[in-house]
């Protein structure tokens, strides 16, 4: 009995040591299960919705528990594939009923841009947190209405800025904050690809609210802001359109745009649906530089600096994003770069100004 008592005492001390030393349990092969799991319903079961669902299989803090779709066959397929109970399945007409479903914490809206505003507001009124894919809306006014609705309902609104959690991106930002790059002078952002199917919703102005700028140019806008660590105070922009049939009125094909910042730094960016291989960020300072190419693709992100390569391990962006968003929504964690609705509205204000600059040919002040 004495030997058994001594063994139990030692075992108890060992367990205490594992809990008292951060990271020791993981290093020893043990993994602590998080206290809370974010239970998510995905609205919009297209290609990106599928990507998020697949990524959540590896999430430790987020779980796919529900779906919202206008296509019954997709609902049936997802039920079978992801083990989703029928009580957590909705369509676009009845999803307000999620207010009575305690098994869903948040809805991730992954639908055409023009639908985001009304859908997020309905989610908020149902008392659920909203995660909305970017761009959050088709203009800043609608984005602000979404922020206001979520605030009034006492729920949070997050935007799908997956790059805000990507390791190499965060390392570049650490270098900037530490002063290793010196005074920042210039940012270049190239965002583009050749878009395919001319009948898709992204080329319908009523659903997309714009063309390449809404879809891919927003990466350079957002990237300029987090790489420089400042908000722009003016924009200028010029549009080029070589195919007015495919890129009809309201759908931009290629826009070159420039932004000026309070420090005197400038950004020169390109957004296009007509050229492949454009996924590059370059940040230049008085003491150093960072280049990332690809800079915003699904990964792995590759980069280099004046001090050497950026080569932190790649983890599926959407998996990291959902775990980090679970921490924000359930545990009050603060991300290095904001991903809330206010952050989304800032990008929308810049997009509005770029479209105005294209239309007028003038510099547009943002303050």
Active site residue 219: yes
> Predicted confidence band at 123 (pLDDT cuts at 50, 70, 90)?
very high
322: CB partners within 8 A, 6+ apart: 38, 40, 52, 55, 56, 59, 61, 62
How confident is the model over 287-316, as pLDDT tens digits? 999 999 999 999 999 999 999 999 999 999
Active site residue 99: no
For residues 257, 193, 240, 355, the Cα torsion angle rounded to the nearest 10 degrees is -50
Q: What is the mean pLDDT of residues 273-292?
A: 98
Verdict on whether the full-model pTM lies above 0.95:
no
> Predicted confidence band at 20 (pLDDT cuts at 50, 70, 90)?
very low
Measured CA to CA, the distance from residue 228 to residue 173 in angstroms comes to 8
Q: What is the mean pLDDT of residues 274-290?
A: 98
Q: What is the mean pLDDT of residues 114-127?
A: 98
Q: What is the mean pLDDT of residues 84-96?
A: 98
Q: Domains of the chain, with CATH numbers?
A: 38-162 (3.40.50.720), 166-313+339-365 (3.30.360.10)
Mean pLDDT of the chain: 92
Catalytic residue among 90, 108, 219, 273: 219
Sheet with 364-365: strands ordered across: 308-310, 303-305, 289-292, 278-285, 184-192, 266-272, 254-260, 234-240, 364-365
How confident is the model over 142-175, as pLDDT tens digits? 999 999 999 999 999 999 999 999 999 999 999 9
> Predicted confidence band at 34 (pLDDT cuts at 50, 70, 90)?
low
pLDDT reported for residue 125:
98
Does 25 score more than 80 pLDDT?
no
pLDDT reported for residue 278:
98
pLDDT reported for residue 362:
98
Does 14 score more than 60 pLDDT?
no
Q: What is the 3-state secondary structure (H, E, C) of the chain?
A: CHHHHHHHHHHHHHHHHHHHCCCHHHHCCCCCCCCCCEEEEEECCCHHHHHHHHHHCCCCCEEEEEEECCCHHHHHHHHHHHCCCHHHEECCCCHHHHHHCCCCCEEEECCCHHHHHHHHHHHHHCCCEEEECCCCCCCHHHHHHHHHHHHHHCCCEEECCHHHHCHHHHHHHHHHHHCCCCCEEEEEEEEECCCCCCCCHHHCHHHHCCCHHHHHHHHHHHHHHHHHCCCCCEEEEEEECCCCCCCCCCCCCEEEEEEECCCCCEEEEEEECCCCCEEEEEEEECCCEEEECCCCCCCCCCEEECCEEECCCCCCHHHHHHHHHHHHHHHCCCCCCCCEHHHHHHHHHHHHHHHHHHHHCCCEECC
Percent of the chain whose pLDDT exceeds 90: 90
Does 2 score more than 70 pLDDT?
no
pLDDT reported for residue 294:
98
Measured CA to CA, the distance from residue 103 to residue 83 in angstroms comes to 14
Q: What is the mean pLDDT of residues 344-357?
A: 98
Catalytic residue among 134, 280, 346, 349: 134
Measured CA to CA, the distance from residue 349 to residue 270 in angstroms comes to 18
How confident is the model over 309-350, as pLDDT tens digits? 999 999 999 999 999 999 999 999 999 999 999 999 999 999
Percent of the chain whose pLDDT exceeds 70: 90
| Sign of CA pseudo-dihedral 60, 65, 70, 71 | positive
Burial 231-254 (b: 16+ CB within 10 A, else e): ebebbbbebebeeeeebeeebbbb
């Amino acid at each position: 009995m004495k030997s058994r008592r001594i063994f139990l005492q030692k075992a108890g001390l060992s367990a205490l040591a594992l809990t008292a030393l951060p990271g020791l349990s993981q290093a020893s092969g043990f993994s602590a299960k998080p206290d809370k799991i974010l239970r998510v319903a995905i609205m919009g079961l297209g290609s990106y919705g599928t990507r998020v669902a697949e990524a959540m299989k590896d999430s430790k803090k987020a779980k796919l528990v529900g779906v919202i779709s206008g296509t019954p066959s997709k609902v049936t397929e997802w039920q079978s594939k992801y083990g989703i109970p029928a009580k957590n399945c909705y369509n676009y007409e009845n999803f307000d009923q999620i207010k009575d479903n305690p098994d869903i914490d948040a809805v991730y809206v992954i639908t055409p841009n023009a639908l985001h505003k009304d859908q997020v507001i309905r989610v908020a009124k149902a008392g659920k947190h909203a995660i909305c894919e970017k761009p959050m809306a088709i203009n800043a006014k609608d984005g602000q209405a979404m922020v206001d609705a979520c605030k009034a309902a006492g729920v949070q609104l997050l935007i799908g800025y997956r790059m805000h959690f990507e390791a190499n991106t965060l390392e570049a930002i650490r270098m900037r904050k530490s002063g290793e790059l010196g005074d920042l002078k210039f940012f270049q952002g190239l965002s583009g690809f050749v878009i395919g199917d001319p009948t898709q919703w992204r080329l319908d102005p009523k659903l997309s609210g714009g063309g390449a700028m809404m879809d891919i140019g927003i990466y350079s806008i957002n990237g300029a802001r987090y790489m420089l660590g400042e908000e722009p105070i003016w924009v200028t922009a010029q549009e080029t359109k070589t195919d007015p049939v495919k890129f009809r009125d309201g759908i931009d094909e290629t826009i070159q745009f420039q932004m000026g910042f309070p420090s005197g730094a400038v950004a020169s960016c390109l957004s296009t649906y007509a050229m492949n291989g454009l996924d590059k960020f370059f940040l230049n300072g008085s003491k150093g530089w960072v280049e990332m190419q690809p800079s915003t693709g699904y990964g792995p992100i590759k980069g280099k600096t004046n001090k050497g390569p950026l080569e932190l391990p790649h983890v599926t962006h959407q998996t990291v994003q959902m775990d980090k968003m679970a921490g924000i929504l359930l545990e009050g964690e603060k991300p290095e770069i904001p991903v809330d609705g206010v952050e989304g509205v800032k990008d929308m204000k810049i997009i509005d100004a770029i479209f105005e600059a294209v239309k007028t040919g003038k510099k547009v002040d943002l303050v």
